[in-house]
Amino acid sequence: FYHIAVSHADRTMQEHFRADGSCYHVIDYSLNDNSVRHRQTAQGYADESTWSRGQAWAIYGYTMVYRETRDVRFLEVACQSADAYLRRLPEDMVPYWDFDAPMSPLLPPKDASAAAVTASALIELSGYVNDEIKSRHYLDVAIAMLENLSSSAYQSGTVNTAFLLHSVGHMPRGREIDASIMYADYYYIEALLRLRTVNKGG
């Protein structure tokens, strides 16, 4: 299982990422010779766009792979993915559902789930980065994300039984648009627990 996981992470690292650190959502491999047939999206705006939660999964996933392998190549990918994500954030640190979706008078919906996943990942990632300035930057950004997610702009309150509002499940299929979704809540709580551990000196 370890070999399968590392092999998958290796191949994904080779095929999913663009030069700027952003990632494709889906890679279609040939069953005949394992070559790449197509780079595409399922839940993003377009094949060449950057779906924000997909980028969040990349940060989270490669942070986890580094944790389990201590292979510095995976730490580098996690940092490159994080930097690509952070460069394109709006002021409130919660991304739109796709970083490349066209703007209009009715702005495309935010995705609080992407912010929650990323905040949790950055807290862990900050503990692995040797550069103190970069480590502190990741932690500070994660805290800012959680502060904004904890504000009245994103808290559900009495609207429904979820913790967070304003996530996007599957925009191209018109599903869960500007909705509460469970993985937003899961990673929000995980991020808060991780931050509590950091604040206690862990």
CB contact set of 128 (below 8 Å; sequence gap of 6+): 63, 66, 67, 75, 78
pLDDT at 89 over 90: yes
CA count, 13 A, side-chain hemisphere, 8? 9
User: What would the two tokens of residue 69 be?
Assistant: 């392998």
Provide the pLDDT confidence category of residue 10 given band limits of 50, 70 and 90. very high
pTM: 0.95
Q: How far apart are CA 69 and CA 77, in angstroms?
A: 13
Strand 175-179 to strand 26-29: parallel, antiparallel, or no bridges (unpaired)? unpaired
User: What would the two tokens of residue 92 be?
Assistant: 């409130």
* Contact between 100 and 45 (Cβ < 8 Å): yes
Average pLDDT over residues 115-124: 98
**pLDDT, the chain, mean:** 96
**Lowest mean pLDDT across 10-19, 26-35, 97-106:** 97-106
Q: Write the CA distances from 95 to 21, 46, 183, integer angstroms.
A: 16, 16, 16
